Amino acid sequence: MKVLVLNCGSSSVKYQLFDMTNESASAKGLVERIGIAGSRIRHNKVGDEPVVKNAEIPNHKVAIKLVLEALLDNEHGVLDSLDELTAVGHRVVHAGEKFACSVHINKEVIDALEECVPLAPLHNPANLAGIEAMMEVLPEIPQVGVFDTAFHQTMPDYAYIYGVPYHYYETYKVRRYGFHGTSHFYVSHRAAEILGKPVEDLRIVTCHMGNGSSIAAVKGGISIDTSMGFTPVPGVIMGTRAGDLDPQLITFLQEQDGMDPKAINHILNKESGILGISGVSSDLRDVEEAAESGNKRALLAENMLYYGVRKYIGAYAAAMGGIDAIVFTAGIGENSITARARICDGLAFLGAVIDPEKNNIRGKEAVISTDDSSVKILVVPTNEELVIARDTKGKMAELK
Ligand code: AMP
């Protein structure tokens, strides 16, 4: 059974083809700069060198045709015929309160996702463009939507309602949704497997730290709280997103600088966080380097990030009535030895003690706490594509 996983952005399509008989990926790639000059596809048959083809790619339909051509290519392809493809799984960012699990996509699902566009005006239209393009190109292939928000739908109301008048929730569905759900689900459940314990018995804080970062409290295998909110802006500082703020700061800045909502959104999403504080880069590697050579604002950005994550770990330990494991994932969580060490420094009072030698790894699964640390600390590389492929396979079985 072969499943194609698609992650469609406004100007890009990331793809991965899985053989679900053994859950192996046989090819992956990226279509970039859709609708912009210089568009191209980078295709990688697993085990081979990537190949790049420049082409005019005005829209998602052309992008998807190129993906299918690449998968069928005589030299670099992995399929003899599109008949081998059983289903397509899509990453979709926002399902609002409509879907708490993955769904087989039909007309009603598309309508529901369109209704969610005001909640994710940048992401959902791109995800829908990918779904609609796929439906046009391969109408007979079933498609499944896997949502970033779904895993967090188990949060209790007191964790997701904001302290503004309740009618804003009723009218505009203003509430905490949370994101990176597929990643928090994967790494928490994988951590339980690594520890050899049922996930139902564990209280885990998952730290997804990449260019976008979110922390989640996963109790008994379900999400009970997370640091992102109505949008992906809140929580810890990120590459270019601000993280938690006093909301009245926005109106203050509007009054001071006369900025409109678009300008404010740009600042909060693109000019803040690690980039905005350090003035160096949104990339933590550059900021770590600058801090080491004495740049004070780079050091401040690092300190803010590590302090912020540590505070969330403490808060979520309290929210879950204790903690059994801390899991690090995504670009920073998987690769930054310094970030993990600095975040966990001072968590011994919770029973979480990192082992510097075990922590000296990048990009692979490992338990990095000391043997006698009662809270286990793990690195688990995330694999959202595999979750999407598994869910797609699962939905196909239900359809039979
Ligand atoms: P992601 O969004 O998951 O791709 O993560 C991107 C972030 O991971 C960027 O801030 C990178 O600086 C960070 N990152 C990747 N590799 C390393 C590394 N070796 N050390 C520190 N940060 C890293």
Record the tokens describing residue 291, joined without a space. Answer: 């801090």
| Angstrom distance (rounded) from CA 310 to CA 299 | 16
Residue nearest to atom 8 of ligand 1 (CA): 331
Contact 178, 246 (CB under 8 A): no
CB atoms within 10 A of CB 385: 24
CB atoms within 10 A of CB 229: 19
SS3 category, 92: strand
| Angstrom distance (rounded) from CA 348 to CA 341 | 12
Record the tokens describing residue 394, joined without a space. Answer: 């699962």
Distances in Å between the alpha carbon of 394 and those of 20, 151, 185, 383, 388? 11, 16, 16, 17, 10
CB of 331 closer than 6 angstroms to any ligand 1 atom = yes
Check residue 317 and give its pLDDT: 98
The H-or-E segment that residue 171 falls in is helix 166-172
Residue nearest to atom 15 of ligand 1 (CA): 331
Spacing, Cα 311 to ligand 1 middle (Å): 21
Check residue 115 and give its pLDDT: 93
Record the tokens describing residue 150, joined without a space. Answer: 């779904």
pLDDT in tens, 217-249: 999 999 999 999 999 999 999 999 999 999 999
CB of 330 closer than 6 angstroms to any ligand 1 atom = yes
Pocket test for ligand 1, best of 332, 359, 361 (most atoms within 8 A of CB): 332
Check residue 164 and give its pLDDT: 98
Domain spanning 2-147: which superfamily?
ATPase, nucleotide binding domain (3.30.420.40)
Cross-strand pairs, 42: 30, 52
Spacing, Cα 297 to ligand 1 middle (Å): 19
* pLDDT reading at 68 higher than 80: yes
CB of 207 closer than 6 angstroms to any ligand 1 atom = no
* pLDDT reading at 276 higher than 90: yes
Which amino acid is located at 272 in the chain? S
Domain boundaries, the chain: 2-147, 197-384
pLDDT band at residue 121 under the 50/70/90 scheme: confident
Catalytic center residues: 148
Pocket test for ligand 1, best of 336, 338, 360, 379 (most atoms within 8 A of CB): 336
Record the tokens describing residue 310, joined without a space. Answer: 């540590």
CATH topology of domain 197-384: Nucleotidyltransferase; domain 5 (3.30.420)
| Angstrom distance (rounded) from CA 54 to CA 71 | 16
pLDDT in tens, 148-189: 999 999 999 999 999 999 999 999 999 999 999 999 999 999
- Topology alike, domains 2-147 and 197-384: yes
Spacing, Cα 56 to ligand 1 middle (Å): 31
CB of 275 closer than 6 angstroms to any ligand 1 atom = no
pLDDT band at residue 400 under the 50/70/90 scheme: confident
Instruction: Tell me, rounded to whole angstroms, the distance of Cα 97 from its chain centroid.
Output: 18
E strands within the chain? 2-8, 13-19, 24-32, 40-45, 51-54, 85-92, 103-104, 143-147, 203-209, 213-219, 222-226, 325-329, 366-367, 376-379
Check residue 399 and give its pLDDT: 81
Average pLDDT taken over every residue of the chain: 96
Mean pLDDT of 140-151: 96
CB of 336 closer than 6 angstroms to any ligand 1 atom = yes
Pocket test for ligand 1, best of 182, 285, 338, 361 (most atoms within 8 A of CB): 285
Nearest-atom number in ligand 1 for the CA of 382 is: 3
Spacing, Cα 119 to ligand 1 middle (Å): 27
pLDDT in tens, 314-349: 999 999 999 999 999 999 999 999 999 999 999 999
| Angstrom distance (rounded) from CA 385 to CA 392 | 10
Record the tokens describing residue 325, joined without a space. Answer: 């494991």
Cross-strand pairs, 329: 208
Tell if the pTM clears 0.75, that is, is over it: yes
Place of tokens 């059994």: 324
